[in-house]
C-alpha cells in the first residue's frame, strides 16, 4: 500500500465518524417521525371511537324512554305512531326508530312506510326478546333502500322489570352519522377511514372511492380484524397506498364493527426523507472534498519529498554513494532529508569498515583452511547446520577418496551409523561440543576405531562453523577390551576359588564345633576357641571375596520394594547395640519412620558394613545412626567419634583390602572389604554415599535413599531373636544329602552331637533308598544344591516330601553363587544358606524350621541367596 493511499485512508477514517454520526441523526429523526405518525393515527381513531360510543349511548337512552311510555306499555299503535311523528322532526335523518310486538310486526315507526313489516328474523330483535337487555346487532342492509345500517334493540316489559317482553323498540342508524361527523371533523389530507362489519365487508370509506363499499377487505387486513386490542400497523391500503393504520378490532369498541384510520406513510415521511437525502449528498460531498484536499496536499508536500528520498535511495543502492537530498519543502521534510544524508554518510563509513573486516575474515578463513588442510591428523569443517563443508588432506589420504555430505556416512562402520547420527543431531540442536567412538574405513577396506571430537566456532553470538578431528584409538580400544575381559576372568576365578574353598571350610567349622563336648576346661578348649576365632576370620574373608566376585560378575539383581526405614533401623539396633555396649561406646539409633524405596537386603548390608566399620575404628565416644530428609531422598547417616579419615585418603578407603594405619594387616581391624562392598552396592542400587571426615575428628557416612511414592506403608512387626541351638527331649530324624564326603561327614557329626538320628547320603537315590529301608518320616531335610550327574538338591526334597509329607521342612546349604538356587528356594518355600555355615547359624535355621513345622506360624524364607550375606 502506497504512502498516498495510506494518507487518503487516514483522512477517510477521520471523516467517517462525523459522517456516520450525521447519518445516524437523520435515521433517528426518521424513526421519531414514524412514531409520530402512529401516534397521530391513534389520536384520530380515538376521536372517532368516542363519537361512536356517544352515539350508541344516546340511542340506548332514547329507546329506554320510548319503552317506558304508555303507548309502548299498551302496544298502542296509533298513540305510538303519533308520538314518533311528533318527535321525528327532532331525530337525525340517519336514525330510524320502530316498535314491534312480540310477534316482530312493526306497529309504529319514524318512517311510516315501515309499519306492518315483519322484522322478527332480525338478530337484534331475537336477541332483545330472548336476552331481555339492550342489544347491538350486526350490521344489516335496510330492506327498503339497501343502505348499510347499525341495528339496536331494547325489550318492552309491562309493569315489572322482570316480566316477559311484550315487544321490542328498535333503532337503525345508517352511515349518515359518519358523513355528519366527517363534515364537522374532516380527516387530514393524507388520511383515510375504513368501516367494516364482522365479515370484513366494507361499510364505509372516506374519502370515498367508487366500488369499494360492499367489497371484502383484502386478506392482509384479517389479522387486524381478529386482534385482541386496539393497535397500529403499517400495510398497503385498499386504495393501493401504503398507510399507517390505527384500528379498533371486532372484539373491542362497538361490537361487530371494525374501524381503521390510515395515514399515508410516504406523504407523512416525505419531508424527513428529503432532508435525509440532502444530508447524505452533503456528507458525500464533504468526504470527497476532504479526500481531494488531502490528495492535493499530499502530492505537493509529502509525496514529492518522499519520491525525492526514494530516488536518492535507489541511486545510493546503485552504488552512487555521493547522492544527497538536502533541505526539501518545509522544516519537517528538510530535517528528514538532512537525517537521510547523515544516515548515508554513516552507512558509507560502516560499509568501508565492513569491507575491511570481510577482507580480514577471508584472510583468516584462508589461513584456517590452510592449517586444517595441512594438519597431520584427520580433520574436517562443517557448516553451521552440521552439513560437511570440506575434509583435509589427511582424511582424504586415510579413506582414499573425497568425502562429501552425501557419502560421509559410508566412511563409518554400518553398526555405528545410527549411534553417531543420534549424538550429532542432539549436539547440533543444543549447539554443544560432542564426541563419540566410531569405526572408520581405511583406504584398504579395514575398519579401525577412532575417537571423534567436534566443537562449534562462535562469532557474534552465533555458530558460524563446526570443526572436528579423529584420532586412531584402535590399539587402545583392544587393550581396554582385553583389560575388561581380564577383570571378568578374575571375577570368575574368585567365584570358582571361593566355592572350592567353602567346601573344606564348611567341614572344618562343623568338626570344630563337634570337638567342643569332647574337650574339658583347659588348654584344649582354649585352643579350640582360638581355632574357631581364626575360622571366623577366614569365613569373613571368604564372604567378602564372594560378595565382591558376585557384584563384579553382575549376578546380583536388586529387588526394589517400598518399606519403612524403621524396619531396617530396628534390625541394625538389635544386631549392633550389644557390640557397641560391650566396647564401652555410646550407641544411639534415632527414630525414623519415613517410607523409602530400595532393596531391603542390599541396603541392610550397606548400613551394617558402615556400622561395623564405625564400631571397629571408634575406641571412645559413641556411634549414632541418624536420618535426614533432603529433597526427594532420605539420608541415612552413620556418625562416629573415631580416628577419622585424612582428606587425601577418603577415596582410597573404598578400595579392596585397603585400611588406614594397618600395614601389618591385623585381622582384628577387619579385612578391608566392607567399604569396597558398600561402594559396589551404592553403584548397583544408585544410592550415592558421601563421606564427611577429618583426621582425629570422627566420620559421617551418608547413604542417599529415594523416598517411597506411597507414604501409607505400614511398619512391620518386630521379629523375634534367632533361636538357640536345638535342645529337645526326643530324638528327631534328619536327612542330609551332599556329594562332598568331607562336608557330609561334618554335617552328620554335628547333627548327631545335637542328638539327631541322621541318614547321610551322597545322592538323591541313595537317600530315598535309605528312607525306604528305615520307614520313618524325616523331621528335617538338609541338602546341597549342586549334586553329581547334573542333579540338584531340590529334586531330593521334592521326592522325599512326595514319599511322606509335603510339610517336611527343607533346607538348602550351597556354595553356588548364581541366582538359580535362590529362584528354586523361593519357588518351593525352602530356606537357603550359603557355605560355609557356622554351627550357630545352622542351629538357628534348624530351630526356626522345626518350630514352623510344629505350628509356630513362621514360614521359611531364603536368607538372601544370590545377594551378599549378612554374616558378621
User: pLDDT, tens digit, for every residue of 98-129?
Assistant: 999 888 898 998 888 888 888 888 888 888 88
Q: How far apart are CA 255 and CA 246, in angstroms?
A: 17
**Is pLDDT at 817 greater than 60 in this prediction?**
yes
Note the pLDDT of residue 868: 34
**Is pLDDT at 58 greater than 90 in this prediction?**
no
**Is pLDDT at 522 greater than 50 in this prediction?**
yes
Note the pLDDT of residue 857: 39
Share of the chain above pLDDT 90, in %: 20
**Is pLDDT at 6 greater than 80 in this prediction?**
no
Q: What is the mean pLDDT of the chain?
A: 79
**Is pLDDT at 545 greater than 70 in this prediction?**
no
Pairing outcome for strands 810-814 and 831-834: parallel
Note the pLDDT of residue 553: 60
DSSP secondary structure string for all residues of 650-692: TTGGGSTT--TT-TT--GGG--S-HHHHHHHHHHHHT--EEEE
pLDDT, one tens digit per residue, over 225-245 is: 888 888 888 888 888 888 888
Run of H or E including 508: helix 474-515
pLDDT tier, 254 (very low <50, low <70, confident <90, very high otherwise): low
Q: How far apart are CA 682 and CA 704, in angstroms?
A: 9
Which residue, chain included where needed, has cell 535342645?
727
**Is pLDDT at 531 greater than 60 in this prediction?**
yes
Tell me the three state secondary structure of residue 820: helix
Note the pLDDT of residue 671: 45
Note the pLDDT of residue 318: 75
pLDDT tier, 56 (very low <50, low <70, confident <90, very high otherwise): confident
DSSP 8-state secondary structure symbol assigned to residue 517: G
Note the pLDDT of residue 735: 94
pLDDT, one tens digit per residue, over 155-214 is: 988 765 677 888 999 988 876 666 666 666 677 777 888 887 777 888 777 777 777 777
**Is pLDDT at 649 greater than 80 in this prediction?**
no
428 vs 252, which has greater pLDDT?
Answer: 428
**Is pLDDT at 390 greater than 70 in this prediction?**
yes
Note the pLDDT of residue 551: 66
Length of the chain in terms of residues written: 872
Cell numbers standing for residue 443: 583406504
Average of pLDDT values for 830-839? 82
Distances (CA, A) of 605 to 318, 504, 681: 83, 26, 9
Average of pLDDT values for 617-624? 91
DSSP 8-state secondary structure symbol assigned to residue 228: S
**Is pLDDT at 540 greater than 70 in this prediction?**
no
Q: How far apart are CA 430 and CA 463, in angstroms?
A: 11
Compute φ and ψ for 169, nearest 5 degrees. Answer: -100, 125
Note the pLDDT of residue 418: 92
Run of H or E including 296: helix 265-298
78 vs 521, which has greater pLDDT?
Answer: 78
Amino acid at each position: 500500500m502506497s504512502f498516498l493511499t495510506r494518507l487518503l485512508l487516514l483522512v477517510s477514517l477521520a471523516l467517517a465518524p462525523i459522517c456516520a454520526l450525521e447519518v445516524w441523526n437523520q435515521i433517528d429523526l426518521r424513526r421519531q417521525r414514524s412514531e409520530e405518525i402512529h401516534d397521530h393515527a391513534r389520536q384520530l381513531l380515538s376521536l372517532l371511537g368516542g363519537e361512536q360510543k356517544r352515539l350508541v349511548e344516546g340511542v340506548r337512552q332514547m329507546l329506554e324512554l320510548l319503552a317506558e311510555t304508555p303507548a309502548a306499555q299498551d302496544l298502542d299503535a296509533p298513540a305510538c305512531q303519533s308520538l314518533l311523528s311528533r318527535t321525528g322532526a327532532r331525530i337525525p335523518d340517519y336514525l330510524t326508530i320502530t316498535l314491534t310486538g312480540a310477534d316482530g310486526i312493526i306497529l309504529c315507526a319514524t318512517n311510516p312506510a315501515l309499519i306492518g313489516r315483519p322484522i322478527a328474523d332480525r338478530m337484534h330483535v331475537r336477541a332483545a326478546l330472548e336476552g331481555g337487555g339492550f342489544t347491538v346487532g350486526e350490521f344489516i342492509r335496510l330492506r327498503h333502500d339497501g343502505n348499510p345500517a347499525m341495528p339496536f334493540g331494547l325489550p318492552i316489559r309491562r309493569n315489572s322489570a322482570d316480566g316477559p317482553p311484550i315487544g321490542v323498540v328498535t333503532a337503525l342508524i345508517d352511515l349518515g352519522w359518519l358523513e355528519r361527523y366527517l363534515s364537522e371533523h374532516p380527516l387530514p389530507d393524507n388520511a383515510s377511514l375504513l368501516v367494516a362489519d364482522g365479515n370484513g365487508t366494507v361499510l364505509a370509506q372516506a374519502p370515498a372511492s367508487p366500488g369499494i363499499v360492499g367489497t371484502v377487505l383484502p386478506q392482509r387486513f384479517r389479522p387486524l380484524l381478529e386482534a385482541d386490542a386496539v393497535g397500529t400497523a403499517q400495510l398497503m391500503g385498499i386504495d393501493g397506498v401504503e398507510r399507517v393504520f390505527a384500528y379498533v378490532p371486532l372484539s373491542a369498541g362497538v361490537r361487530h364493527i371494525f374501524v381503521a384510520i390510515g395515514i399515508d406513510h410516504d406523504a407523512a415521511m416525505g419531508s424527513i426523507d428529503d432532508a435525509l437525502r440532502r444530508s447524505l449528498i452533503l456528507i458525500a460531498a464533504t468526504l470527497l472534498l476532504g479526500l481531494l484536499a488531502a490528495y492535493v496536499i499530499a502530492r505537493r508536500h509529502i509525496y514529492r519529498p518522499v519520491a525525492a528520498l526514494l530516488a536518492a535511495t535507489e541511486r545510493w543502492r546503485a552504488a552512487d554513494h555521493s547522492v544527497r537530498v538536502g533541505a526539501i519543502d518545509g522544516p519537517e521534510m528538510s530535517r528528514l532529508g538532512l537525517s537521510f544524508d547523515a544516515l548515508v554518510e554513516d552507512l558509507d563509513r560502516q560499509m568501508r569498515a565492513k569491507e575491511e573486516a570481510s577482507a580480514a575474515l577471508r584472510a583468516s578463513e584462508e589461513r584456517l583452511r590452510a592449517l586444517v588442510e595441512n594438519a597431520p591428523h584427520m580433520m574436517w569443517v562443517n557448516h553451521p547446520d552440521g552439513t560437511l563443508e570440506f575434509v583435509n588432506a589427511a582424511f582424504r589420504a586415510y579413506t582414499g577418496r573425497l568425502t562429501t555430505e552425501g557419502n560421509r556416512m559410508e566412511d563409518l562402520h554400518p553398526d555405528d551409523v545410527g549411534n553417531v547420527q543420534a549424538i550429532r543431531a542432539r549436539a547440533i540442536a543444543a549447539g554443544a561440543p560432542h564426541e563419540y567412538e566410531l569405526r572408520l574405513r581405511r583406504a584398504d577396506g579395514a575398519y579401525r576405531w577412532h575417537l571423534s571430537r567436534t566443537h562449534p566456532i562462535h562469532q557474534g553470538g552465533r555458530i558460524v562453523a563446526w570443526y572436528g578431528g579423529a584420532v586412531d584409538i584402535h590399539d587402545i580400544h583392544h587393550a581396554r577390551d582385553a583389560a575388561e575381559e581380564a577383570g571378568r576372568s578374575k571375577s570368575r576365578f574368585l567365584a570358582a576359588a571361593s566355592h572350592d574353598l567353602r567346601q573344606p571350610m564348611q567341614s572344618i567349622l562343623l568338626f570344630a564345633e563337634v570337638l567342643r563336648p569332647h574337650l574339658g576346661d583347659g588348654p584344649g578348649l582354649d585352643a579350640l576357641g582360638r581355632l574357631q576365632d581364626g575360622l571366623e576370620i577366614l569365613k569373613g574373608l571368604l564372604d567378602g571375596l564372594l560378595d565382591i566376585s558376585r557384584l563384579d560378575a553382575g549376578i546380583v539383581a536388586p529387588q526394589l520394594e517400598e518399606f519403612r526405614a524403621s524396619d531396617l533401623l530396628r534390625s541394625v539396633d538389635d544386631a549392633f547395640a550389644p557390640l557397641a555396649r560391650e566396647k564401652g561406646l555410646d550407641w544411639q539409633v534415632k527414630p525414623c519412620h519415613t517410607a523409602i524405596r530400595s532393596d531391603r537386603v542390599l541396603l541392610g548390608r550397606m548400613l551394617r558394613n558402615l556400622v561395623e566399620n564405625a564400631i571397629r575404628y571408634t575406641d571412645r565416644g559413641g556411634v549414632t545412626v541418624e536420618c535426614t530428609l533432603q529433597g526427594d531422598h532420605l539420608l541415612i547417616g552413620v556418625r562416629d567419634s573415631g580416628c577419622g579419615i585424612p582428606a587425601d585418603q577418603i577415596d582410597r578407603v573404598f578400595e579392596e583390602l585397603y585400611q588406614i594405619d594397618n600395614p601389618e594387616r591385623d585381622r582384628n581391624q577387619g579385612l578391608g572389604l566392607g567399604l569396597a562392598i558398600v561402594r559396589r552396592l551404592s553403584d548397583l542400587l544408585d544410592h550415592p554415599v558421601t563421606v564427611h571426615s577429618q583426621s582425629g575428628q570422627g566420620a559421617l557416612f551418608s547413604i542417599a535413599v529415594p523416598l517411597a511414592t506411597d507414604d501409607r506403608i505400614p511398619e512391620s512387626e518386630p521379629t523375634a531373636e534367632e533361636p538357640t541351638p536345638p535342645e529337645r527331649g526326643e530324638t528327631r530324624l534328619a536327612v542330609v544329602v551332599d556329594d562332598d564326603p568331607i562336608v557330609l561327614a561334618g554335617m552328620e557329626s554335628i547333627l548327631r552331637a545335637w542328638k539327631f538320628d541322621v541318614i547321610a547320603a551322597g545322592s538323591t537315590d541313595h537317600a530315598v533308598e535309605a528312607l525306604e529301608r528305615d520307614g520313618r518320616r524325616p523331621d528335617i531335610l538338609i541338602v546341597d544344591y549342586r549334586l553329581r550327574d547334573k542333579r540338584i538338591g531340590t529334586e531330593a526334597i521334592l521326592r522325599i516330601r512326595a514319599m511322606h509329607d509335603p510339610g517336611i521342612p527343607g533346607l538348602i546349604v550351597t556354595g553356588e553363587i548364581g541366582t538359580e538356587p535362590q529362584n528354586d528356594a523361593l519357588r518351593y518355600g525352602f530356606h537357603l544358606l550359603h557355605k560355609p555355615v557356622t554351627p550357630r547359624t545352622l542351629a538357628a535355621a534348624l530351630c526356626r524350621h522345626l518350630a514352623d513345622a510344629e505350628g509356630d506360624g513362621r514360614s521359611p524364607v531364603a536368607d538372601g541367596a544370590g545377594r551378599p550375606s549378612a554374616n558378621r
